[in-house]
Structure 1
């Protein structure tokens, strides 16, 4: 049997596998997400993902040039899920903002490996993926919409979004890294801390908006 014949047979097998999955890329990303959750990012490889998806070891190269491209696709799916979770929860603007914050923190704790890949890892920095940028902007936009609903006349929504995301991210990171020692928490568990942070979030945002508005007015007075 010639090498060309062997290659043709292997390609046909890969094509059948792709047809069986319906969407090979989605199957590979799903398999990578499962490995990430169960074993961590160090265990992710194109060969390992192919084995878990039940395809030949060459099949992933149809969609991903290397491991970094695969990780980028997985992180993009993480942002997609985060944006989905943060979309409007309630017609009541105050309650909605509280729920948006809660959904963010719950996502971080329920999908800790994914969250670390999205926000805390330098794996993706050397090769920024446009899809990650697009999906992270969509997640950011859900915060903007929630704040706009709470404060429709505010002119500093962008700054408030950054503040809100920073507060949520800071708490999520501290909880995940177990840096909040028992002696710092006075016996308060994670759920209670999340509830306190999210319940007070609307008033925190309102107060921040008033401070920003006052600063802006003061600057205008000085420039006038």
Structure 2
């Protein structure tokens, strides 16, 4: 009599959502968000082509999850800057640049609203938190009477940090030197010293 066949164990991937997100970030980093395919990501993760849809529904859902994660990471980075200090505005910009350089795939997807479900609750909450933390540095400077109209100041600060990070990531600014120090110099040139 032959021994019984071993029982088949059900397939269990572990954290499929994380595996798909990680694979998608690799694709974005290598080829941009336009190269994302749920079917290809399922193949990379070794699961059925329908499996990613259980977590993301569609391509835009996956990209929205990447953007939400990016905004959450950005909010965490911005939270490291103490609010209300004389140099908080500049240091928030430094953290923004550091985040962009450390997470270029997230950064790219976060700023492509045409690819996202912009009404997704997780995305809206994460983006709002990051925006609030960026805005607080501008508010503290404006409250001290050292800045222009608050909304314009927020836009100016965001534009400077975002523009510098984008130019650095695209290779339009040579990658030599410390990006944080380079950004601090730009911020001083643009906004003056913290006590000005």
1:89 Cα deviation (Å)? 2.4
Would you say the 8 A contact 1:89–1:100 is kept in 2?
yes
1:202 Cα deviation (Å)? 5.7
Partners of 2:26 and 2:151 lie apart in 1 by: 35
Match of 2:55 in 1: 63
Would you say the 8 A contact 2:87–2:194 is kept in 1?
no
Distance 1:38 1:177, change over 3 A: closer
1:120 Cα deviation (Å)? 4.9
Distance 1:170 1:205, change over 3 A: farther
Question: Does the residue aligned with 1:128 lie in a helix, a strand or coil?
Answer: coil
CA displacement 1:187-206 (0-9 Å, x = unmatched): x8573532312455663787
1:121 Cα deviation (Å)? 6.9
1:50 aligns with 2:26: no
1:17 aligns with 2:12: yes
1:90 Cα deviation (Å)? 3.8
Unaligned runs of 5+ in 2: 1-8
Which structure has the higher relative contact order (CA within 8 Å, separation 6+)?
Answer: 2
Partners of 1:44 and 1:122 lie apart in 2 by: 14
Matched residues, number: 184
Match of 2:109 in 1: 117
Would you say the 8 A contact 1:28–1:60 is kept in 2?
yes
1:177 aligns with 2:170: yes
Match of 2:75 in 1: 83
Partners of 1:129 and 1:205 lie apart in 2 by: 37
Match of 1:163 in 2: 156
Distance 1:171 1:97, change over 3 A: same
Unaligned runs of 5+ in 1: 1-11, 183-187, 208-224
1:30 Cα deviation (Å)? 3.0
Partners of 1:88 and 1:150 lie apart in 2 by: 18
Partners of 2:140 and 2:56 lie apart in 1 by: 40
What's the TM-score once normalised by structure 2's chain length?
Answer: 0.73
Distance 1:43 1:136, change over 3 A: same
Partners of 1:71 and 1:53 lie apart in 2 by: 17
More helix by share: 1
